[in-house]
């Protein structure tokens, strides 16, 4: 069995549960656009994909509306939304154990890099990661495949078969495939077992403890 060296983690739905912060910030942006959504569960689909994609596909916003909605979203998200967030159980222990095993850890998220870095600092996790790859504030490099490519290029001395991507949505798995990279789908986030299976994740786990057991075994 191959030995992985670099583990790329998605952030939302994989390391932390950002539901309250993201959905309330989307709700705020929609209110600005005169769209009322009272049930936050209806906005869970915004967790994972780039905001541009979700506003376009779900609400059929045009480019101008998308730009305004993202600005409104960030108005609330930067003030309080990013901190309405909680780590999944045992995440700090998982990261500490993987570092002890000799893994190189990095973040690969569609969230803007500046927000991802602040969230890691908020949870005191930044010291576990050698690199944080996210999107740009102007919306570029937001597709997960592009983010993974950016992370992979940072570790240019590592062979592609020594990378593995971990995430909870199909976008993480598809992005890994686009980079000829193996992947682990986690079902404790916001993607279903069916979604991760259909996307052809290399491995699928149901808990943080299962994830740790798998990576220790693969390492």
Residue 173, classed as helix, strand or coil, is: helix
Closest CA to 8 of 138, 98, 85, 112: 98
181-211 CB burial, b ≥16 within 10 A, e <16: bbbbbbbbbbbeeebbeebebebbbeebebb
Write down the catalytic residue from 10, 12, 72, 172.
Answer: 10
Q: Is 10 a catalytic residue?
A: yes
The dihedral region occupied by 19, where left means phi > 0, alpha psi between -120 and 50, and beta the remainder, is alpha
Active site residues: 10
């Amino acid at each position: 069995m191959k030995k992985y060296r670099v583990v790329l983690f998605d952030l939302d739905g994989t390391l932390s549960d950002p539901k309250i912060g993201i959905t309330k910030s989307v709700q705020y942006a929609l209110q600005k656009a005169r769209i009322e959504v009272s049930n936050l569960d209806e906005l869970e689909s915004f967790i994972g994909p780039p905001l541009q994609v979700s506003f376009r596909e779900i609400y059929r916003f045009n480019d101008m509306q998308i730009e305004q909605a993202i600005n409104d979203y960030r108005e609330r998200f930067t003030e309080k939304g990013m901190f309405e967030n909680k780590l999944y159980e045992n995440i700090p222990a998982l990261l500490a154990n993987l570092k002890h095993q000799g893994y190189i850890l990095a973040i690969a998220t569609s969230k803007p890099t500046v927000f991802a870095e602040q969230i890691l600092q908020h949870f005191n996790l930044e010291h576990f990661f050698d690199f944080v790859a996210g999107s740009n504030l102007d919306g570029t490099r937001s597709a997960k495949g592009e983010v993974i490519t950016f992370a992979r290029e940072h570790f240019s001395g590592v062979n592609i078969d020594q990378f593995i991507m971990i995430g909870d949505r199909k976008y993480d798995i598809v992005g890994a495939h686009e980079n000829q990279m193996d992947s682990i789908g986690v079902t404790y986030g916001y993607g279903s077992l069916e979604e991760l299976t259909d996307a052809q994740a290399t491995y699928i786990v149901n808990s943080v403890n299962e994830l740790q057991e798998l990576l220790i075994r693969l390492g």
